[in-house]
Amino acid sequence: MIDLHTHSNASDGSFSPRELIAEASSRGITLLSLTDHDTIDGIGEARRAAEEAGIAFVPGIEMEIAFEPGECHLLGLGIHRPTDEFLEAIRVLAAQRVARNEAILDLMREYGIEAEYGDVEQFSAGKVIGRPHFAHLLIERKIVRNQEQAFSRFLGKGRPFFVPKASMDLSRAIRLIKESGGAAILAHPLSLYVAWGRLPALIEEWKGLGLDGLEAWHPTAKVRACERLDNLGRELGLLVTAGSDFHGNNRPDRKLGITAGGKKIDERFAEGLRTESGA
């Protein structure tokens, strides 16, 4: 059992990188990729813990890509030698994330919810602040009952407190990932909100930009849709991956090593990826 899409508290997960690896070990996972949002700050700790636990490790990242009408995320699997340009690009994204958080706070105040940056920061364990931490604040203030309600009512796309993340041009992101040793994988393609009839041509176009693969299996999708994406990826000659999009306690519905339909993630989904062996 493996997992190619996970998050730590270096971005918006609740587990530290070492805790993430310990959880993976307890669940019998043999290979794991840490793919935090727009940062590789947790990679060093996760790599060391994976080596100690005998887990093969794939250093990764998840990057926000400019796209409408839906959301486009790009996984970089195998960031073995990040270039200076790659590091500068994610540094800029981190600075823009702070500005986004300030904008969310402004929207909350307009809504009548008085809060300061420190009020949200207390939920982030000193790490990067993201929407799940704002959700924790809304739960603590008893404005919502849980994370799901926080996103569906306030923080999700089109909701009152939604502010778009800083994003990168797709072709540049693909190039930076590949120059850093990684494979560029389109994460959860259904979040693009592109009709099935248009999707094959779009992904084929992106393959022409250097896209290496697509994440066909994701827990938010139905099994039948994942099977369709799996077949599409293979027909286009792309790598096909699967992940849990694990966020620890911030998304308790997602379990390490488990994807759509409660299926365990098979080792076949790591084919074509270069790993750092922990065995």
- In sequence order, what are the beta bridge partners of 116? none
pLDDT mean over 164-191: 95
Helix (H, G, I), strand (E, B) or coil at 96: helix
- Rounded to 10°, the helix 223-235/199-208 angle is 40
Write down the pLDDT at residue 279: 42
> Does pLDDT of 194 surpass 90?
yes
Q: Please confirm whether the linkage preceding 252 is cis (ω < 30° from 0).
A: no
Domain assignments of the chain as residue spans, ordered by start: 2-82+177-270, 90-155
d(CA 238, CA 214): 7
Length of the chain in residues, anyone? Answer: 279
d(CA 209, CA 71): 19
What would be the CATH architecture of the domain defined by 2-82+177-270?
A: Alpha-Beta Barrel (3.20)
What does pTM read for this prediction? 0.88
Q: What is the mean pLDDT of the chain?
A: 94
Query: Given phi > 0 = left and psi -120 to 50 = alpha, else beta, which region is 63?
Result: beta
Count Cα neighbours of 169 within 13 Å in the Cβ-side half-sphere. 4
List of residues 6+ apart from 276 with CB closer than 8 A: 47, 50, 51, 56, 57, 58, 59, 80
Write down the pLDDT at residue 278: 47
CA angle, residues 2, 254, 178, in degrees to nearest 5 = 50
d(CA 114, CA 119): 10
Query: In which band, very low, low, confident or very high, does the pLDDT at 125 lie, cut at 50, 70 and 90?
Result: low
Write down the pLDDT at residue 123: 84
Q: Cα dihedral sign for 109, 114, 117, 122? A: negative
What are the tokens at 159? Answer: 């909701």
> Does pLDDT of 92 surpass 90?
yes
The model's pLDDT over 130-156, given as tens digits with 9 standing for 90+, comes to 888 899 999 999 999 998 999 999 999
Give the closest residue to 248 by CA, choosing from 124, 122, 126. Answer: 124
